[in-house]
Structure 1
């Protein structure tokens, strides 16, 4: 689990840099300021949660694999794909109904942070 989350975190971080650079250099003149702000929000949350996934992998290495940490990392990955992904597509395509999907990713982020708190407070090691 440790290696899997570190790998996922590294890939998502690399993508966040590439996607952010694409937005800064290729989209700035092609989409409006409001759409660019939406895109940048996606990059911001993408990067924060890429780091959170890396930290989850490191925690699994220090404290051992647990069902709780498995769900933390999984929720952060799903949240990044849904939240940031929907904002990227929304800002580039203008498809407004994608805005209804974004909160699902945000909910996954919140659930991941709560799962991290529960995992930290439980102090139990469980093999997954």
Structure 2
């Protein structure tokens, strides 16, 4: 599970940097400032959770079962939250509507929140000798 968390975290961080650079240097010519701001929000939350995945992998007091749960919640949350924002904010570039994704974004956000709650709960309830 540690390797899976590290790989996912690094891949999400890598793509966040690439998408951040795209937003900073290329997208400003094609989308409005508000759309760019939304795009940057997706990048920011992707990076936060990429780093969180890496951190979760490295914390020994978190059980593998909890790591697996957090992996699925954060990974699903990043995909639903950030990717839906990327598509919604760049829809005008593709001459299409991704408005059906509007309800997907908060579901992704809720999965991210639940991941943090699970992590908090498991750390608070940890009664091991090393805590």
Q: Using structure 2 for the length normalisation, give the TM-score.
A: 0.87
Taking structure 1 as reference, are residues 42 and 124 closer, same or farther at Cα in structure 2, changes over 3 Å only?
A: same
Moved more, 22-31 or 88-97: 88-97
Taking structure 1 as reference, are residues 6 and 124 closer, same or farther at Cα in structure 2, changes over 3 Å only?
A: farther
Runs of 4+ in 1 over 2 A off after TM superposition: 63-66, 94-97
CA displacement, residues 8-52 of structure 1 (integer Å, 9 cap, x when unaligned): 101110000001111111111100111111101101101101111
In the alignment, the residues of structure 1 paired with residue 103 and residue 20 of structure 2 have an alpha-carbon distance, to the nearest angstrom, of: 23
Q: Using structure 1 for the length normalisation, give the TM-score.
A: 0.89
Matches of residues 1-128 of structure 1 in structure 2 within 5 Å?
Answer: 1-59=1-59, 62-63=60-61, 65-94=63-92, 95-123=98-126
Taking structure 1 as reference, are residues 64 and 101 closer, same or farther at Cα in structure 2, changes over 3 Å only?
A: closer
The size of the alignment, in residue pairs, is: 123
Over aligned residue pairs, what C-alpha RMSD do you find? 1.5
In the alignment, the residues of structure 2 paired with residue 11 and residue 124 of structure 1 have an alpha-carbon distance, to the nearest angstrom, of: 33
